[in-house]
Amino acid sequence: MKRLMKKLLIFAALVVLTGCMIKIPVLAKSSNIPVNVKVGKKTFKAVFYDNKTAKALLKKMPAKYKMSELNGNEKYRYLKYSLPTKAQKMTRIKAGDIMLYGSDCLVVFYNSFNTSYRYTRIGRITNTRGLKKAAGNGRVTVKLSKIKKKR
């Protein structure tokens, strides 16, 4: 019985250690940096991911962009500078996603849809209620700013 218990303990330890070595893909983890995204006249709360692209864009804040309409689901703006990229093929875009197309095209999505395009994730608007209405049909001004922590 002691031998069986010893073997079971060794087996359990190997399972745990093996599980620690398996690399599970993570879509994007939150950097806990809250951001205000003002679309037109309405302000939304967003969270930026912990990646080089988001950190580089955070350094540019506060920032204001006149964004154009595309395909009835997104607002975009080609930036005057490039950001670091780590593009991934997407299968589904969700309303509220903030991404980079190429190295210099900032995109804010206000509708969800399926896609096969490649984007670099930056962050996402956490509550998209009213986002589509705020985005409107044509060009819209989008302001990005860090939310100051209360002391």
pLDDT tens by residue, 37-76? 999 999 999 999 999 999 999 999 999 999 999 999 999 9
Write the CATH number for 87.
Answer: 2.40.100.20
Contacts of 141 (CB under 8 A, 6+ apart): 38, 40, 64, 65, 66, 67
DSSP assignment of 94-111 equals: -TTEEEEETTTEEEEE-S
**The most confident of 15-19, 21-25, 145-149, by mean pLDDT:** 145-149
Mean pLDDT across the chain: 86
Does a structural domain hold residue 24? no
Q: For residue 10, is it within any domain?
A: no
Domain ranges, residue 61: 30-146
Number of domains present in the structure of the chain: 1
For residue 15, tell me if it sits in a domain: no
